[in-house]
A and B are shown apart, each in its own frame.
Chain A
Amino acid sequence: MSIIHVVFGRLGFNSLPFWQMLQHPTRENLVNGSIATLAACIVLVGAAAAVILITWLGKWKVLWSEWLTSVDHKRIGIMYVVIALVMLARGLIEAGIMRSQEAFALNGGYLSPEHFEQFFTTHGTIMIFFMAMPFLIGLINFVMPLQIGARDVSFPVMNSISLGLTAAGAALVMISLDIGKFSTGGWSGYPPYTEAGFNPGVGVDYWIWAVSLSSIGSMLTGINFAVTIYKKRAPGMRFMRMPLFTWTALCTSILMIFAMPPLTVATALLALDRYLGFHFFTDHFGGNYMNYVNLFWLFGHPEVYIVILPAFGIYSEVFSTFSGKTLYGYTSLVLATMAIAALSFTVWLHHFFTMGQSANINAVFGIATMLIGIPTGVKVYDWIWTMFRGRVRFTVPLIYALGFTLLFVIGGATGIILANPSIDYQVHNTQFVIAHFHNVLVPGTLFGLLAGYHFWFPKALGFRLHERWGLFSALCFILGFILAFFPLYGLGLLGYPRRTLDFFDPQYLPYMIAAFIGALIVFAGFLGLILQLLVSIRRRKEYAVPAGDPWDGRSLEWASPAPPPEYNFSVLPVVSGRDAFMLAKEQRAAYQAPGMFYDIEMPKNSAMGMAVCIGGFLAAFGLVWYMWWLVVAASLGIIAAMVGRGFVRDAERIIPAHEVERCHLRWLATVAVTRPVTRGQEATPANAGLAVLEAVE
C-alpha cells in the first residue's frame, strides 16, 4: 500500500479520457476517445473562459460577496437557473449525439456500446437532477416569496446550502468528463448490473454520489418552501387567495419532502453494497434487487410530478396573464393539484409492471394510474376556458403554453395507454415508453420552465428578452420536438427497444433519420435561446422595464420594481382577494407610498452554502476515487462548519427606514415618468414596465 495509493486512491493515468485510445489505437477507441477528449476539453475551456471573464471584468469580490455568499432567494434562484441552462446545453448535446448514432446505426454507427450507455445515463441523470430540478427550484425560489408577499424564504442559509449541494452534484457529473467515466446503468441505476461484481469502476459511484448530493439538497429545499408557504404569507393571503404557481410550489415541496427519502435509501443501500460488501441488491447471499426497483420508483414516480407541477403552475399564470382574464376554475385547479400530489404516491408500480408480481397487484396500480389522469384533464379544460373570451396575446410564454396544450395531452393519453398492464407488457422497455415520457416532459416540463424563464426574466433582471428570437426558439422547440419524438412511438410499436445503440432492420431507418433531424431543430432552438440572451443583454437599456410590470401582471410579484430590492416590499402588502395586484390596480390602489416606513431586518450573507458545496464535492470525489483521507477531511470540515454556524450570534442586519423610503420613492418617481403601454405595445421598447389601466371586465 504505497503512499501514492493512499493519496490518490484509484486515480491513475488511465482515468484520462484519451488514455485508452493511446494504449490501444483501434478504430473504435480512436473515435470514442476523440469524442470523450473533445468533451473534456470543452469542460476545461468553459471553466477557463469563466475564470478569465470574471478576472477581466474584475468581479471576483462581487461574485463572492453578492452572489456566492448571498442568502437572498432571488439571487439563489437566478444561480439555480444558470446551472440548469448550462446543464441543459450538455443534456441536449448528448441527446443529439445519441440521435446521430441511431441515424447511422444501420451501418453500425460510430459510438461504442459502452460510450452510448454512458450517454443515455448522463442524459437522463442530467436532465432530471441537474436541469429540471434546479430550473424549477430556481423559478420557485425567485417567484414564490414575492407572490405570497414575504421578504424571503423561511430558512435562507439552508437555501444557500441546498444550492451548494446541487452545484456540487453538477460539478461531479461535469468532472466525470475529464477524469474517469460515468455510469452505464441508466439514470435509474438498476442492480445487480450496478453492483461491484459487474461494475467495479468509478462510473456507478459517480452516479450514486452526484444523485445523493442533489437529492439531499432537494429535500432541504422542499422543507424550506413548504414552511415558507405555511408560515410567511402576507396578512390576508389566505390559502385560497394564493396564486396557482404558489399552490403548485406547495404541492411540489410536499412531494420533494416525501419522495427524496426513498431515493436516498435506494442509493445509500447500493453504496453500502458496493463499498462495504452488504447484500441488499446482489444476486447472491440473499440480496433482492427487485427491492431496489421498488424503492427507486417510490421516489421516481413522485419525482415526475415534482417536475410537472411547477410547470402546471407556470401555465396557470401564463394563460391568465396573456388572456387578460382571471384564471377559470381556481378551486378546481387547486383541488386537482392536491389530488395529483396525493395520488402520485400510489402509482409507482406502473414502472415495473413486468417484474413478476401478481396480476391483481398490477391491476390495482393500473387503475390508480388511470385515475391520476383525471385531475390533469380538469386542469387542461380550466386553462382552455381561461383563454375563452379573453384577449389573447401570442407572446413567447403563451406560444409555449399552446404547444403544451396540444402536445402534452397526447403524451398523457399514451400514459393512460401504458397504465394498462396488458398493453404495457408489450411495449415495456421499447421506444414507445421513451416517446411517452419525453412527450410529457418536453412539452410539459421544459416548455413550462422556458415559458416561466421568459415570463419572469424581466422581473429578475430588469429588462425584457428579445421577442423575435424567443419566438424562433419556441417554434424550433415545438417543431423539433414533434419530429424528434413522434417517430419513436412508431419505433416502439415496431418493437425497437430502448437504450439500444444499433439495429439491423432497415424499416427503422426513416424513423431514425426523422428523429435526428428533429433533434437538430431542437438544438437550433436552444442556440436561439443563447442568441436571444446575448442580444437582450446588449440591448438591455432599450428593453428595460424599471417600473416592474411589463405584462400587466395579476399577482404580487409584479407589485415591485424590476429588479426588486433585497427585501422585496417596502411594507408587506395586506391582501384582500385573489390576483392581489390586479385587484389593487383596478381599485386604483397600486403604486402608493405607505404612510410610514420601518427598519427592515434581513439575514446577513453566509459562507455556509459554499462550505457545504466544496466540502460535499470533495467528499464525494474522495468516495468515488477511494481517497479516504479526503472523505474524512471533507466530512469533518462540513461538520465543523455546521457546529461553528451554531455559534454565530450576529446573523442579521438592519436596513434603515430612511433607506427603504428612499428606494421606494425612487421607484414611484420612475413610475410617475413612465408612459403606460397597452397590451399591443408590450413587446416593443416602449414598454417600460407600466400597464395602461384597461377596462375592468
Chain B
Amino acid sequence: MSAAPPLRHPGINLGPAHPETEEKSAELLFGFWVFLMSDAIIFGLLFATYAVMLHARAGGPGPEQLYDIKSAFIETLALLSSSFTYGMASLALKYGRRHEWLIGWLVATMCLGGLFLRLEAQDFISMFHEGAGPSRSGYLSSFFALVPLHGLHVTSGIIWMLALILQIVRYGVDRDVKLGLLRLGLFWHFLDIVWVAIFSFIYLGGLA
C-alpha cells in the first residue's frame, strides 16, 4: 500500500487531480478552520454556562424528567450517518465520479440532517408542553441556548448544501463549487463533533 501524501490543510485534500483548487484552497480552508475555532469557543462557553446552571432548576423539572434517551440516540445516529454520507460525497468529488453520485450523497446528507432537526424539534415541543420551556428556569435557559444553537448551525449547513447543489446544476462542479464543498465538509463534521459533546455531557450526563 502506497504511503499517503503529506496533507496540506485540514479536511479532504483534493490532490493533484484538481489543480485549479490548489492555489486558493490552503488559504480558504485555513481561514474557515480559524472561523470554526472561534465557533468552538462560543459552544464551549455555552457548555460552561450549562454546567454552571445545571442545578438552577427554580423548583422546575430537571434532566431526569425531560430527556428522552431513545430520541437522543436516533438523532445521534442520524447525524453521524449524515457525516458518513458527506464523506461519501467528498470521495465522489475527489475521485471524479459523475455529478449524480455527488448530488445523491449530498441529498442523502440533507435528508439525514433534516431528520435530525425534525426529531430535535419534536423533543423541544414536548418539553414546552410539559411547561419546561426556556423561561421556566436558568437551567432550562442554558439548555435552550446550547442545543438550538447547534440546530441553527445544522439548518445553516443544510441551506448551504442546497445552495451548492443549485450551483452544481447551474455551473457544474467548478473550482468555486469544490472549494465550497471542502469548507462545508469541515463545517458539517465539526457540527457532528459538537453533537458528540452535547449527547455525552448534556443528555447522557444528565441521565446517568
- Check B49 against A286 for contact (C-beta < 8 Å): no
A285 touches B136 (CB 8 A): yes
CB < 8 Å neighbour of A280 from B26, B30, B42, B138: B138
- Tell me whether B170 is interfacial, beta carbon within 8 Å: yes
Within 8 A of A (CB), among B53-89: 53, 56-58
- Give CA–CA (A269, B139) in the complex, Å: 13
**Contact residues in A for B142 (Cβ distance below 8 Å):** 280
- B46 proximal to A (CB < 8 A): yes
Residues of A within 8 A of B176 (CB): 646, 649
Q: How many residues of B contact A (CB 8 A)?
A: 40
Which one of A257, A264, A268, A277 lies within 8 Å of B134 (CB-CB)? A277
Q: Across the interface, do B58 and A154 meet the contact criterion of CB distance under 8 Å?
A: no
Interface of B is mostly: helix
A279 in contact with B38 (CB, 8 Å): no
Task: Report the minimal beta-carbon distance from B148 to chain A, rounded to whole angstroms.
Answer: 10
A272 touches B145 (CB 8 A): yes
Q: Which residues of B contact A154 (CB under 8 A)?
A: 27, 31
Which B residues are CB-close (under 8 A) to A260?
38
A277–B39 alpha-carbon span in the complex (Å) = 25
What DSSP secondary structure best describes chain A's contact surface?
Answer: helix
Q: Closest approach, in angstroms, between the C-beta of B63 and any C-beta of chain A?
A: 14
Return chain A residues, CB-CB under 8 Å to B45: 261-262, 265, 295, 298
Task: Check: A211 CB closer than 8 A to any chain B CB.
Answer: no
Most A CB contacts (10 A, CB to CB) among B26, B163, B171 go to B163
Residues 532-566 of A at the B interface (beta carbon under 8 Å): none
A-B contact number at CB 8 A: 114
Give chain A residues whose Cβ lies under 8 Å from the Cβ of B125: none
Contacts A288-B53, A291-B52 given; indicate if A279 touches B145 (C-beta within 8 A).
Answer: no
The answer to whether A377 has its CB under 8 Å from any CB of chain B is no
- Chain A 162-200, CB-CB to B under 8 Å as 1, else 0, gives 000000000000000000000000000000000000000
Contacts of A649 in B (CB 8 A): 171, 174, 176
- Check A257–B58 contact: CB distance below 8 A: no
Q: Does B141 contact A (CB under 8 A)?
A: yes
Instruction: Encode B69-112 as 1/0 by CB contact (under 8 A) with A.
Output: 00000000000000000000000000000000000000000000
Most buried by A among B52, B138, B140, B145: B138
Which of chain A's residues have a CB closer than 8 A to the CB of B121? Answer: none
- Whether A286 contacts B137 by the Cβ 8 Å rule is yes
Q: How far is the CB of B169 from chain A (nearest CB, A)?
A: 11
Any chain B CB within 8 A of the CB of A139?
no
Out of A227, A279, A286, name the residue touching B30 (CB < 8 Å).
Answer: A227
Cβ contact of B34, chosen from A257, A291, A298, cutoff 8 A:
A257
- Residues from chain B with Cβ under 8 Å of A279 in the complex: 56, 58, 134-138, 140-141
Contacts of B38 in A (CB 8 A): 219, 222-223, 257-258, 260-261
A387 to chain B, nearest CB (A): 37
**Segment 17-47 of B: residues with Cβ below 8 Å from A:** 26-27, 30-31, 34-35, 37-39, 41-42, 45-46
| A 249-277 to B, binary, CB cutoff 8 A, 1 in contact else 0 | 00000000110111011001100110011
Distance from B26 Cβ to chain A, minimum over Cβ atoms (Å): 7
Interface: A394 (CB within 8 A): no
State the Cβ distance, A555 to closest chain B Cβ, in Å: 23
Q: Would you call A385 an interface residue if the criterion is a C-beta within 8 Å of the partner chain's C-beta atoms?
A: no
In the complex, B11 has a CB within 8 A of chain A: no
- Knowing A286-B138, A646-B180, A647-B167, the reply to whether A265 touches B34 (Cβ < 8 A) is no
Q: Are A231 and B30 in contact (CB under 8 A)?
A: yes
Q: Are A227 and B31 in contact (CB under 8 A)?
A: yes
Residues of B within 8 Å of A298, CB to CB, are 45
Interface centre among B37, B134, B144, B166 (most CB of A within 10 A): B134
A155 to B45, CA, bound (A): 28
User: Is the CB of B159 closer than 8 A to any CB of chain A?
Assistant: yes
Residue of B nearest to A266 (CB): B45
A288, B56: Cβ atoms closer than 8 Å: yes
Known: A273-B141, A291-B53, A646-B167. 16 other contacts (CB 8 A): A155-B31, A222-B38, A257-B38, A258-B37, A261-B42, A261-B45, A268-B145, A276-B134, A277-B135, A278-B134, A279-B135, A285-B135, A285-B137, A286-B138, A288-B138, A295-B45
Selected A-B contacts with CB under 8 Å, 5 pairs: A154-B27, A227-B27, A265-B42, A285-B135, A291-B49
Please list the residues of chain A having a beta carbon within 8 angstroms of any beta carbon in chain B: 154-155, 219, 222-224, 226-227, 230-232, 257-258, 260-262, 264-265, 268-269, 272-273, 276-280, 282, 284-288, 291, 295, 298, 639, 643, 646-647, 649
